[in-house]
Homo-oligomer: A and B are copies of this chain.
């Protein structure tokens, strides 16, 4: 089916567009009352992810309210470790945890390469459902966690402050760490390719924890595997290019290394101006971002001002997808997101 609105794909490929497209990380989320109702109906966050009809419903909810230029499939970055046998569960207020975190070398050596078409069929089913419902209105984004970020959760067993276990692994047993990261890179490649075959028209890789590494360790233990994944992806499907976005939070010191992976675009958090990022890597990749999500807590006039600053910072020409620098937070008033969407629609044409 032809896309009615392919602005995001064009912008990610740095082709000419007539306004700056936008979507919002975690746009299907707790700030929306209708999301909370569907989640309550599902019983739990994990059941919501695993029930294709409900995952499809929450994926579409933000698009019913706002003029967004993409949907992103509702899922979790930790589905892969879950189907590798670690047993994902969520505890209220403490975030994701694993029943069987990786504790020994044999735990790592015995990790299976799951058949993601089968074990993550619920994701593929949800993608097909969303594509059917969208009927070409906007593109659908698929996603995965990065090998480094998945490894971090799998070794720490859940969220961490100091990342002592995974760092001890990379420093004391680098060969074992590389074995784990290779296995994860292979499975992430399978997973994203399965999403593309099921209908994802853009894919984003989230390296949530790349920013806890030193410059050298980031290149060795994260970027290397991001490049391996990008090289293994089906970049053409349904006769179109499938753009790849990397979003490495807290990694602005390493933009050049990220751009060197062969991806089409970099997602940026809000700690670096788009002007600076563009001057460093704008000839090689598109940029996505990067308003501080906390701005959405402020008054609509402030949101308008800050959004216009983000647009001006990128400046004129193609290659910008507007987004927040991280996920929208649960305490945001949906009317404030409306103010942001209105601003980008209104002000961005003058930059093209």
Contact = CB atoms under 8 A, between A and B. Distances in A.
Q: Is the interface of A mostly helix, strand, loop or mixed?
A: helix
A276 to B, nearest CB: 7
A215 B276 contact: yes
A113 to B, nearest CB: 29
A294 B250 contact: no
A162 B329 CA distance: 8
Nearest to A271: B253
Interface in A289-310: 292-295, 297-299, 302, 306, 309
A331 interface: yes
Contact of A298 (B171, B215, B297): B171
Contacts of A331: 162, 164
Given A250-B250, A253-B272, A167 B302 contact: no
Interface string A24-53: 000000000000000000000000000000
Interface in A206-250: 211, 213-218, 250
Contacts of A132: none
Given A252-B253, A253-B276, A292-B214, A172 B298 contact: yes
B215 A297 contact: no
